[in-house]
Amino acid sequence: MRRGGLVAFPTETVYGVGADALNPAAVKRIFHAKGRPADNPIIVHIAELKHLIILSEEIPPIAKNLMKRFWPGPLTLILKKSTKVPQEVTAGQDTVAVRMPQNNVALALINAFGGPIAAPSANLSGYPSGTTAEHVFQDLQGRIDLILDAGPVEVGVESTVLDISTHPPAILRPGAVTPEQLQAVIGEVTLGGTSRISKRSPGTRYRHYSPRAQVILAKENSECSEMAEEFAARGRKVGLVIPDPAPHMARSAILVKAMPQDLEGYARRIFATLRELDEQAVDLIIVKEVEEKGIGVAIMDRLRRAAAG
């Protein structure tokens, strides 16, 4: 990393692919490796508060409260950037996204490197994030220098991105820290989706988190299995992603993925499940919607984006 190389590493949410956040050429290589649109800014990862001072000179009191409660952890805060943060990291914006991950390998890497590490999720742009080192290898083999393998991640969906420059603060991307948890600390927060927000957080705008197979969402178990039957009868290979107890499907063209009932367990498995179905070359994936509470808000956000278009 000191020589400008790219290193993939685990965080508690998903694997990231990191570069020296203060080295513009190294950060540019990340965009190239992922095929990432140049207008999508990157989160900077820190291990100690002394790294934060390099990135931002204005830390509002509300940010300090949030850091105390959620760092290290899956909350990314949008702060006014210092002049030291390269334009490449922030895609020309005057803010920088910062978080302190809750993963010992990530923290040890940042500390050994000795400074902030810019790292998007370690997947090809648009594809589901990698939750194991194998996923990272499949996507970025030959494009990056090293992968630190510490097994599967704990959370499985990305961090919550929170803009605290507005009142009330706005969730630009729902994630592992739930709206309920944020409300308990700072009161009212709004959930993104307006044009102003998608302009500020371009990563939330594209079709994203999508496997190659088409993704269709449905509300009821019966709707899901009927649709699966219909497509299979027309000669399509179908993946069915549905919480336990999953219905039994007689046709061999329907691959059933029974998901954990608890939303935390579901979050941990969803990206890997979409990737597995792609590997089995299904034509489409039917996913039963989950309840939008707690981490379910983040899961449904990812599923809707995976299904977009």
Contact residues toward ligand TXA (CB under 6 A) are 11, 13-14, 16, 40-43, 74, 76, 78, 90, 93, 95-97, 101, 119-121, 158-159, 161, 172-173, 200-204
Q: Measured in Å, how far apart are the chain's first and last C-alpha atoms?
A: 38
Q: What, of ligand TXA, Mg ion, none, does residue 302 touch, CB below 5 to 8 Å by kind? A: none
Give me the residues paired with residue 147 across strands. 8
Q: Can residue 160 be called a binding residue for Mg ion (CB under 5 A)?
A: no
How many residues bind to Mg ion according to rule CB under 5 A? 1
75 or 290: CB nearest ligand TXA:
75
Q: Can residue 204 be called a binding residue for Mg ion (CB under 5 A)?
A: no
Taking each helix axis as running N to C, give the angle between helix 179-186 and helix 61-70, from 0 to 180 degrees, rounded to the nearest 10: 130
- For residue 146, how far is the Cα from the chain centroid? 20
Q: What, of ligand TXA, Mg ion, none, does residue 13 touch, CB below 5 to 8 Å by kind? A: ligand TXA
Please list every residue from 88 through 147 that binds Mg ion, using CB under 5 A.
121
Cβ 97 vs Cβ 173: under 8 Å: no
170 or 286: CB nearest ligand TXA:
170
CA gap 74, 89 in Å, rounded: 19
Q: What, of ligand TXA, Mg ion, none, does residue 173 touch, CB below 5 to 8 Å by kind? A: ligand TXA
Of residues 78, 291, 294, 263, the one with CA closest to residue 174: 294
76 or 225: CB nearest Mg ion:
76
6 or 97: CB nearest ligand TXA:
97
In angstroms and rounded to an integer, the radius of gyration of the C-alpha atoms of the chain is 19
CA gap 268, 12 in Å, rounded: 10
Give me the least distance between CB of 286 and ligand TXA, in Å please. 26
Give me the least distance between CB of 75 and ligand TXA, in Å please. 9
Residue 76, SS3 per DSSP:
strand
CA gap 236, 231 in Å, rounded: 5
Binding site for Mg ion (CB under 5 A): 121
